Amino acid sequence: MDVSQYLEIFIDETAEHIQSLSDNIMELEREPDNEDTINEIFRAAHSLKGMAGTMGFKRMQHLTHDMENVFQEVRSGNVKVSSEMIDILFQCLDAIEGYLDAVKTTSDEGTEDNEAIIAALNRFLAVEENKEQKEDVAAKDHAKTGKVYEKKYLDIAFSENEKKALREAEEAGQNIYGLTVYVQKECLLKAARAFLVFKAVEELGQILVYSPSSQDIEDERFDQEFSFYLASESDYDAVRRAVVHVSEIETVVGEQLKYGAIEEHVRKTEAAAPIAQSEAPAAVSPKSEPATRDAKQPAAKGKTANKPVTNRTVRVDIEKLDALMNQVSELIIAKNSLVSISAADNGGSQNQTFHEQIEYLERITTNLHESVMKVRMVPIESVVNKFPRMIRDLARKLNKKMELYMTGEDTELDRTVVDQIGDPLQHLLRNSADHGLESAQLRAKRGKPETGTIRLNAFQEGNNVIIEVSDDGNGIDTESVKAKAIDRGLVSPEQAEKLSQKEIIDFLFMPSFSMAKKITDVSGRGVGLDVVKSNIETLGGDVEVKSKLGEGTTFIVRLPLTLAIIQALMVEIRDEKYAIALGSIQNIEDIPVKDIKYVQAEEVIHLRGMVIPLIRLDQILDIEPKEEEPESLTVVIVKKGDKFAGLVVDNLMGQQEIVIKSLGKYINNNNKLISGATILGDGEVALILDVNTLM
């Protein structure tokens, strides 16, 4: 059986179920008696089992089946949730994830049987569960809902062709069966089920009429049932058996029909009432279906109403989006060159419309860029969701009490960034759990609550997204970091005395500089913060640390919202042009030279109650100094977090949308002053200043 076309759906949905299981099991640990949670877990395990079965992944099916059994018992109150059970359940999840990873890479589940886990699961079962019991429950469920299985196949409106086919089949001496198949409510790959049903019955005969159309069934545009007419030489029981044999089929209703009787029925419904007519096509057209169904079964309303939503999304390969983004970049470069031609022609004879059209084009390209960017944005949720589980495991492993609080999981970032941010964040969290938080005794002695707190806050700030990882633990002991740095020969004791707090903390980001007193398998092997830092820097971001000894540490990760195109202010220093990201610019000031003050021999300006250090870009960028100092300076005030600095430039050239290009691997850019280059409208290359490293 070819199910490969469902593989992608299977992978995505399995991942979703694993996530929901993980969330719910955590919830269960907190409230072992919450029935909703138990039911939710049962449903997810059941769906996983069903999906694995459909795809032919026997081992995965086996494992999820046993998980489901355990929950069956929990649900019926025979077994109590215990902390060992939670542990085993998490192991199950890991095992399922292992299967899923194998499926992702090889399209096969692999050969790991996970017998140990299965055995552990079965130990929880007070009574060996058997199939009948389960079906019993299933039957009870149905009895509760009081569902009536209608013979929907009678409502089909036939086309002339279909009538002809039915007539001919009967004339050829075949039996005609009308069947309506009801799929289980929890069934996820309904189209796959339908496919299996059709495949099974087609071995016995030929399907003449589908309702909804075969295309709609294939696209899963049907609710819980579908109908078809089959011409076959076998008897009804054989057909019925073939259908019921497919798993996750709730029931099937049907009978053998004579063509005459079918036609009679159709005529009757058509003639009897015009209202009934609206019902007949309803079965065919999925669009009007919800309306009629609503009237009949108000209970099914929620389910039918949100059905079409799933069809409005499209899965797109990220590479296609990359290609699209590149083309938008090219378009913006082309547009910029048109704009510069238009600007150069300012006083010329070109007519008004030309300039208007250029402005129009500018607006369109900006909107286009924004749309493409939005398409690429995904919430960081997919990454941070796994953290609560990780912290729980760490808490047990480290034997510390801790709680993770997360906010801003819905903050969106470029897909490429989200894909790569997981590892660094995970590392920072481990760091907080292992090094940050103190042991319970020490916490008690310091008068802190016994349970340590780790927070992960994400939010947007201008063109950046900030993710803060903080703990209320020990904080960084700068004295011992200093001692270690001296010990390592990184600084002399005299130099060390002069180092600022920040400079000392920066040592932690140096390769193989680990502060862990003993090496645990959680952290402390010296591959750590430096990797975090370089990972984040490759994404165009940076990390900052704030720490207070005894009170806690906060790591602030700053990431660019997008990687490709930004709004920038173009400035001129002598004859060189540089771009500064607009997102980090606070405002622009004209400062008379006489207003410059000195603090510790550094130039500062006093602006609206703030003391802001001046940065002479010409000195930093090795540009020849001006022969004479002008009377006033143009200063671009930039902002990084709550810090400000004033960049001295010669000229402002205006705001522009720029496409970020990499400088490549050849040029040394060790101090990272330049975050990239861009191509201006006239074809010239301008460099982009990285404000974050300037400060």
Q: d(Cα 413, Cα 420) in Å, to the nearest integer?
A: 11
For other proteins, the closer CB: 327 or 632: 327
By CB neighbour count within 10 A (0-12 exposed, 13-18 middle, 19+ buried), where does 98 fall? middle
CA 522/CA 542 separation, integer angstroms: 24
Select from 9-17, 181-189, 374-382, 656-664 the region that touches other proteins (CB under 8 A).
Answer: 656-664
Span interacting with other proteins, options 250-258, 395-403, 628-636, 668-676, rule CB under 8 A: 668-676
Cα end-to-end distance, the chain, whole Å: 62
Q: Does 219 bind other proteins (CB under 8 A)?
A: no
Q: If binding means CB under 8 A, how many residues of this protein chain bind other proteins?
A: 27
In angstroms, give the least distance from the CB of 538 to other proteins: 16
Nearer to other proteins, 327 or 501 (CB): 327
Is 686 an interacting residue with respect to other proteins (CB under 8 A)? Answer: yes
CB of 669 within 8 A of CB of 679?
A: no
Task: Indicate whether 121 belongs to the interface with other proteins (CB under 8 A).
Answer: no
Does the protein bind other proteins through residue 493 (CB under 8 A)? Answer: no
Is residue 68 part of the annotated active site? The answer reads yes
Residue 670 interacting with other proteins (CB under 8 A)? yes
Sign of CA dihedral 33, 35, 40, 45: positive
Q: Strand, helix or coil at 418?
A: helix
CA distances from 63 to 48, 114, 514 (A): 10, 8, 41
Q: Which of 665, 675, 693, 694 binds other proteins (CB under 8 A)?
A: 665
List, in sequence order, every residue forming a beta bridge with 610; answer none if it has no partner.
Answer: 607
Contact set for other proteins, span 320-349 (CB under 8 A): 330, 333
Q: What's the min distance (Å) between Cβ of 675 and other proteins?
A: 12
Amino acid type, 118: I
Rank residues 143 and 667 by Cβ distance to other proteins and give the closer one.
Answer: 667
Q: Are 541 and 557 spatial neighbours (Cβ–Cβ below 8 Å)?
A: yes
Of 214-222, 476-484, 517-525, 621-629, the segment contacting other proteins by CB under 8 A is 621-629
Residue 683 makes CB contacts below 8 A (sequence gap 6+) with 337
Alpha helices in 544-668 (DSSP H): 617-620
Instruction: Determine which residue in the list 106, 313, 441, 668 makes contact with other proteins, applying CB under 8 A.
Output: 668
In angstroms, give the least distance from the CB of 591 to other proteins.
Answer: 24
Contact between 272 and 266 under an 8 Å Cβ cutoff? The reply is no
- Give min distance, CB of 669 to other proteins, in A: 7
Least CB distance from residue 513 to other proteins, whole Å? 22
As measured in angstroms, the least distance from the Cβ of 467 to other proteins is 29
Binder of other proteins out of 36, 113, 219, 684 (CB under 8 A): 684
* 461 a catalytic residue: no
User: How far apart are the C-alpha atoms of 219 and 51, rounded to whole Å?
Assistant: 17
Q: Based on CB atoms, which residue is closest to other proteins, 238 or 331?
A: 331
Interface region with other proteins, contact rule CB under 8 A, candidates 175-183, 495-503, 643-651, 678-686 = 678-686
Candidates 24, 69, 431, 692; catalytic one:
431
Q: Could you give the angle at which helices 160-171 and 259-272 cross, rounded to 10 degrees?
A: 150
Q: How far apart are CA 240 and CA 205, in angstroms?
A: 13
Q: Considering only residues 1, 316, 444, 685, which one is a binding residue for other proteins as defined by CB under 8 A?
A: 685
> What is the C-alpha separation between 386 and 406, in angstroms, rounded?
11
Determine if 616 is a binding residue for other proteins (CB under 8 A): no
Q: Is 673 in the site for other proteins (CB under 8 A)?
A: yes
CB-nearer residue toward other proteins: 157 or 677: 677
User: Which amino acid, residue 519?
Assistant: I
Contact call for residue 621 and other proteins (CB under 8 A): yes
Cα–Cα distance measured from residue 7 to residue 15, given in angstroms and rounded to the nearest whole number: 12
Q: Name which position in 244, 341, 490, 679 contacts other proteins (CB under 8 A).
A: 679
662 touches other proteins (CB under 8 A): yes
DSSP code of 107?
A: S
Q: State the minimum distance, in angstroms, from the CB of residue 330 to other proteins.
A: 6
- Asked if 635 and 651 touch (Cβ cutoff 8 Å), the reply is no
Closest listed residue to residue 256, CA positions, set 281, 241, 234, 225 = 234
Give the Cα separation of 164 and 168 in Å (integer): 6
Nearest-approach distance from CB 17 to other proteins, in angstroms = 42
Q: Which span (36-44, 298-306, 552-560, 675-683) binds other proteins, by CB under 8 A?
A: 675-683
CB of residue 484 vs other proteins: minimum separation in angstroms? 27
Give the one residue of 669, 675, 690, 695 binding other proteins; rule: CB under 8 A. 669
Catalytic residue among 29, 68, 109, 248: 68
Q: Which of 220, 254, 261, 227 is nearest to 156 (CA)?
A: 227
Q: In the complex, what is the shortest distance from the CB of residue 653 to other proteins, in angstroms, rounded to a whole number? A: 15
Query: Closest by alpha carbon to 67, among 24, 136, 125?
Result: 125
* Amino acid identity at 229: Y
Q: Match 């399995």 to its residue by tokens.
A: 14
Q: Which is nearer to other proteins, 591 or 617 (CB)?
A: 617
Among 105, 237, 624, 666, binds other proteins (CB under 8 A): 666
User: In 3-state terms, what secondary structure has residue 645?
Assistant: strand
Q: Smallest gap, in angstroms, from Cβ of residue 571 to other proteins?
A: 14
- Say whether 245 is catalytic: no
Residues 558-587 that bind other proteins (CB under 8 A): 576
Following CA atoms 140, 141, 142, 143 in sequence, which dihedral angle do they give, to the nearest 10 degrees?
50
Catalytic residue among 17, 46, 369, 427: 46
Q: Which is nearer to other proteins, 380 or 677 (CB)?
A: 677
Please check whether residue 332 is in contact with residue 309, taking contact to mean a CB–CB distance below 8 angstroms: no
Contact call for residue 491 and other proteins (CB under 8 A)? no
- If one asks whether residue 620 binds other proteins (CB under 8 A), the answer comes out as yes
Instruction: Give which of 43, 35, 47 is closest to 75, Cα–Cα.
Output: 35
Q: Does residue 622 touch other proteins according to CB under 8 A?
A: yes
Report which residue type is found at 242: A
CA-based nearest residue to 220, from 96, 292, 311: 311
Structure tokens at 435: 């090094």
Binding site for other proteins (CB under 8 A): 330, 333, 576, 620-623, 661-671, 673-674, 677, 679, 683-687
Looking at the annotation, which residues are catalytic?
46, 68, 431
